[in-house]
Amino acid sequence: LAYYFKQIEKHQHLNAFNEVFFDSATRQAEIVQQKMDSGKAGKLAGMVIGIKDNICYTNHKVTASSKMLESFVAPYSATVVEKLLQEDAIIIGRLNCDEFAMGGSNETSYYGVVRNAADQSRVAGGSSGGSAAAVQADMCLAALGTDTGGSVRQPAAFCGCIGLKPTYGRISRYGVIAYASSFDQIGTITSSVTDAALLLEVLSGADHYDSTVSTQPVPAYQSSLNQSGNPKKIAVLKETIDNPALDNDIRNAIEYAIEKLREQGHQITYVSFDLLDYLVPAYYVLTTAEASSNLSRYSGVHFGHRNTDAKNLTDLYKTSRAEGFGEEVKRRIMLGTFVLSAGYYDAYYQKAQKVRKLIKNKIEELLNTHDILLSPVTPTPAFKIGENIKDPLQMYMADVYTVLASLTGVPAIALPLTSNAQGLPLSVQLMAKHFNEQELLNLSYQFL
C-alpha cells in the first residue's frame, strides 16, 4: 500500500485520482494483514484497487466528476464494492472520469482532464480515464470502470491496459450512478488477463438489488484460464478494418495480431458487417434518452447541488441544474429530451430501438457460426488534449467500434498490442457470445 501511495504522489500531474482514501485504505490493509497472518484471507487479499468516481462506497464521497455531486457522500456501498471488500481487496481511492461518464477523453470532468502516462500532452481516454491512467502508471494494481459505450475498453486501449466489459447483466449495477441503464456495465482495467479473470469471478453473480443481473452460475474464470481449449473460429469484421478512418499503425498491428492468432491454430474468416454507419446514431439516440430520464433526479431538492437564492420551485430546478451540470451533460439531456418528446418519439427513439434490434440480430447470427468477433477498439491512438473536445460529433464518431458490444450486450475485451513510433499503445478488440467471458479470457490469455 505504501508503494502505491508513493506512486500516486509521484504521478499527481496525471490527475487520475479525485480522492485518495488514505485512512480507510490503511485501516483495511491492517485488517487484511491480520487475516493473512491467521491464514483466513479472501481471494483478493492485498490487491490494491481504485474505483471510478461513479461507484458508491459507503461514507465516502462519490461525485461522478460533476459539480452537481461535489459534496455528495455515498449512504451505502455498491454491490461490487461489498464484494471487493469481502474478498479482502483494498480500495485506494476514487478515480477521475468524464462527468456522469459522458465522454471519450476525460475532458468533461469537473476535476479536469486525465493525462496519458505515455505522453502527457495526450488524453488517457474516457470516460474511465482515471482508472486507465492509474493502472498504466502503477498507482494501483487494478481499477473498476463503467462501460456504457466503451468507457472501459477505450481508455484501456489508449493506456496499453486490458479492459474487460462483461456481458450486460453479468455484474450488478447496484450502487453505480446511472448514465444509460440498458447499456451500463461495470468492467475492469488490469495489466494482466489473470487479474481480469479473478476480478470478474469475484464481481459477477446475482444480486437481489439489481433485477437485471443474471442468475447464471459464475464460473471459476481464473483457474480455468490454462485450459487452452480448441482452436477458435474468429470472424474479423471486414468493414471495421477496411475503414479509411482507421489509423494505419492500428491496422498494421491488428493484421499482425491476426497472423499470430492464425499461427496459434485459430481459424480466421473475414465477414461482412454492413451496419457500421448505424452504430453511433443508434447509440447516441438511445443513451441520451435514457440519460435524460436518469439525470432528472438531480433537481436540487433531494440531493445534488442546490442554488440557494432561487425564487420558487421551478426556478430552483432550473438554476440548480444550470449551475450543477457541465456543457456535455446538458447537451445530452437536451438531445435525450428531444428524442423522447411526443412529436419525435417515433422518428428517433423508436427507430433507434428497431436499429438496435437489427444490430443484435446480425451479431447473434455471426456468433452462431463463429466463437469470436474481432475489430479495432479505437480508430486512432490517444489523441491530443483539446483536439476533439470542440467537436462533439467527431468525439462521438470515435466510439464506432466500442458501441457495438454495448448495443448488443455481448462481452468484449480490449487487448494491448505494440506501440506506434511515438510510443502510443495500439490495441485490438475481441467479442464473444453472451456470458462467454471464459472463452474471451482464455483466448486473450493464450494470445498475449
Give the interface with ligand GLN as residue ranges (CB under 6 A).
Answer: 101-104, 127, 146-151, 179, 287, 399
Q: Which is nearer to ligand GLN, 178 or 440 (CB)?
A: 178
C-alpha span between 370 and 311 (Å, rounded): 61
Cα Rg for the chain, rounded, in angstroms?
Answer: 21
Q: Which is nearer to ligand GLN, 147 or 207 (CB)?
A: 147
> At 352, which amino acid appears?
A
C-alpha span between 432 and 56 (Å, rounded): 29
Q: Is 127 a catalytic residue?
A: yes
Q: Burial of 227 by CB count in 10 Å (0-12 exposed, 13-18 middle, 19+ buried)?
A: exposed
> At 179, which amino acid appears?
Y
Q: Which is nearer to ligand GLN, 32 or 97 (CB)?
A: 97
Minimum CB separation from ligand GLN for residue 399, in Å? 5
HSE, CB side, 13 Å, CA atoms: give it for residue 399: 29
C-alpha span between 91 and 117 (Å, rounded): 22
Cell reading at 158: 489508449
Minimum CB separation from ligand GLN for residue 165, in Å? 9
Q: Is 66 a catalytic residue?
A: no
Catalytic choice (66, 105, 127, 292) = 127
C-alpha span between 53 and 63 (Å, rounded): 6
Q: Which is nearer to ligand GLN, 149 or 300 (CB)?
A: 149
Q: Which is nearer to ligand GLN, 16 or 102 (CB)?
A: 102
Catalytic choice (105, 109, 131, 151) = 151
Catalytic choice (52, 83, 165, 433) = 52
Minimum CB separation from ligand GLN for residue 229, in Å? 30
Minimum CB separation from ligand GLN for residue 225, in Å? 27
Minimum CB separation from ligand GLN for residue 422, in Å? 23
- For 417, residues 6+ apart whose C-beta sits below 8 A from its C-beta are 253, 254, 256, 257, 425, 426, 427, 428
C-alpha span between 104 and 88 (Å, rounded): 32
Residue of this chain nearest to ligand GLN (CB atom): 151
Catalytic annotation, residues: 52, 127, 151
